[in-house]
Structure 1
């Protein structure tokens, strides 16, 4: 039998426990032998329990900050390991065997997980933040029903290499709500098996680093950007949407572009994709052709998901928050498990990325790991393209202070965990000048009290008012272990040492 037709069964034995307090990563390359094994010795950290309000108990493992969070169901510690397998690995099997399992009784129900809801929703609907899922809390069976779960997909590792990413979730604490008992594992043995790929679809040498995709009408300005990138050592070329539509097949324009990106990755080793083109007009352009795509009103198409966020829990009634959103992750997520093309339509019904949409089968097991870096300049005219290209060229030509030139600020959401602004004002008219201390503390409906925020100020009407906006909640000791956390009140309109004139 020729070597290229041989399949190697790889067995990875990981004996022991998951890395403490975070997400551990293991990497396994193709080996000359048919079987690879790796032994690890890790123990489950110390179990910690504490009261959560008047009714519930919080279950934690020392140093572990990841949790199983399902709306209204018990919050339990979760340990995560990311295993890197060769790109295109198939028939992946995982077996996790808990060791040293002990059963114990607890004094109160484990606290339920709150629902993640859009900001501002609480102003419009009634929310039961700690409503329990009665179907789970009345059962004698242990929750979750298995010690572990896993998923696999294709994506990029930290070095930008194409790999198969295997995410293993281990649940070292399980809970029987009706019996008020938990069972805790001391450690776990993990075995991973897979069929090794026979070849890699990627070139050993990258002919290009980046491709710019845009309509032909933007080509003139973008050729300047191509020349600039090439002069800075980033091998770049331009591909027009018109050429892509004539050269590639696909169910719609977005899928044709995605097939071209796949081709560019496999033929030329492309690492970066720049999409150029936004909505053609804020006034007359139609942003959505159908539930899947916006194309006719866009200079470069957008893929719409069919994710309907329409939860009955924890709301008193169903409320649609978003019937589908734009996602350029579609263009970056080229492959799924086994190295096959990821079209975001696994059931083939022509409805992309569907979830909870009435009358439509859910698209389960989407990959969602990016295989190439994708960004978009959502330009609406040639003049906007010219402006953006000028700014990129001027910036990258180094007309800036080199001490900050390669630094960046990343702004991200925080999972809707902020509390509402109480908008409290102080009337100081009747107070004499002098030093004052302001205290703030929050309490939730369960009676749990948070830390006290303390600010020292001076009231001196002979001076000018000197105020500094204070937003250092990330330094609060109560948040050092992340969420969930006690209720937190923060004084933000004045800072320590401020003067009220």
Structure 2
């Protein structure tokens, strides 16, 4: 039996610290039943020398942007699951602080300089972001969902802080496993707009005896 390969045509953000959360609930028992996860994530901020510290958060560093904290939460679902997301920031207030700018990268031996940012920018653009990818966990093919929450945002001169986030995830596992031992040797996961362009690669692989399947992101992942 040949080992199976997975090709993922995505750019994936690096994973950082995963903080603790509370009030997690999962409903649904049947494999094809739509399931539901709800989490309420609390933040507590402290300020020192214009830097905002939030426990178990990393800092988001980007040139000519303010330094803001963020954290990551990772979820794992069976391969072929359909997933949708709702995230709501809550208890938003203004903070009396001036966010520092990220440092400008410099070659070795040169002095590191602090950058600046436009006073009218909005950063990050949203309170959260997310991405999905295919992977292996304990030898099984899975869908990995990463959610990034930004409890602090700079909005045209104001620093806003969300004390809580409500995270809702709806997912439906596949009615039958997406992967079986004998169906194919190579899985290619890509944006739907790439599928036609990858057909020649599929045909090339199959001409060499490699059973290949192309799966679009809309087949495994859907978000709001």
TM-score, normalised with respect to structure 2: 0.64
Task: Report the Cα distance in structure 1 between the residues aligned to 2:209 and 2:53, rounded to whole angstroms.
Answer: 48
**SS at structure 2 position matched to 1:186:** strand
Q: Tell whether 2:128 aligns with 1:129.
A: no
Q: 1:337 to 1:251 in 2, by over 3 A?
A: closer
Residues in 2 aligned to 1:156 and 1:23: alpha-carbon distance in whole angstroms:
22
**Conserved? CA contact 1:24–1:82, under 8 Å:** no
Answer yes or no: is 1:164 the counterpart of 2:147: no
**Structure-2 residue corresponding to 1:58:** 51
SS in 2 for 1:74: coil
Say if 2:217 is the partner of 1:337.
yes
Structure 2 residues without counterparts, runs of 5 or longer? 1-16, 183-198
Q: 1:175 aligns with which of 134, 138, 154?
A: 154
Deviation of 1:188 (Å):
1.1
- Do the aligned partners of residues 197 and 73 (structure 1) sit closer, same or farther apart at CA in structure 2, a change above 3 Å counting? same
Displacement after TM superposition at 1:80 (Å): 0.9
- Residue deviations 1:424-475 (CA, integer Å, cap 9, x gap): xxxxxxxxxxxxxxxxxxxxxxxxxxxxxxxxxxxxxxxxxxxxxxxxxxxx
For 2:86 and 2:161, locate their aligned partners in 1 and report how far apart those are by CA, in whole Å: 18
1:49–1:128 distance in 2 versus 1, CA, 3 Å: same
Aligned residue number for residue 197 of structure 1: 174
Question: Compared with structure 1, are the counterparts of its residues 73 and 89 closer, same or farther at alpha carbon in structure 2 (3 Å cutoff)?
Answer: same
Q: How far 1:37 sits from its partner (Å)?
A: 2.8
List alignment gaps of at least 5 residues for structure 1: 1-20, 52-56, 206-248, 267-333, 341-501
Cα distance change of structure 1 residues 129 and 195 upon mapping to structure 2, 3 Å threshold: farther
Matching of residues 290-329 of structure 1 within 5 Å? none
Q: Could you tell me whether the CA contact under 8 Å between 1:154 and 1:338 is conserved in 2? A: no
Q: Trace 1:213-292 onto structure 2 (pairs within 5 A).
A: 251=201, 256=205
Q: Name the Cα RMSD after superposition.
A: 3.8
Give the structure 1 partner of residue 125 of structure 2: 145
Provide TM-score, normalisation by structure 1: 0.31
1:77–1:256: structure 2 CA closer, same or farther, 3 Å change rule? same
Contact kept, 8 Å, 1:60 with 1:77, in 2: the verdict is yes
Q: Does 1:83 pair with 2:75?
A: yes
The answer to whether the 8 Å contact 2:66/2:102 transfers is: yes
| Residue number among 62, 66, 77 corresponding to 1:74 in the alignment | 66
Quote the offset at 1:72 in angstroms: 2.2
Q: 1:199 to 1:103 in 2, by over 3 A?
A: same
Structure with more of its chain in strand, by fraction: 2
Q: Secondary structure at the match of 2:154?
A: strand
Deviation of 1:97 after TM superposition, in Å, equals: 0.5
Aligned match of 2:96: 105
Separation in 2, partners of 1:202, 1:27: 28
Q: CA deviation at 1:147?
A: 0.6
Structure whose alpha-carbon radius of gyration is higher: 1
1:101 counterpart SS class: strand
Give the whole-Å Cα distance in 2 for the aligned partners of 1:24 and 1:161.
25
Kindly indicate whether structure 1 or structure 2 has the higher relative contact order, using CA contacts under 8 Å at least 6 residues apart. Answer: 2
**Count of equivalent residues:** 183
> Secondary structure at the residue paired with 2:80?
coil
User: How far apart are the structure 2 equivalents of 1:336 and 1:185?
Assistant: 35
Give 2:134's aligned residue.
154
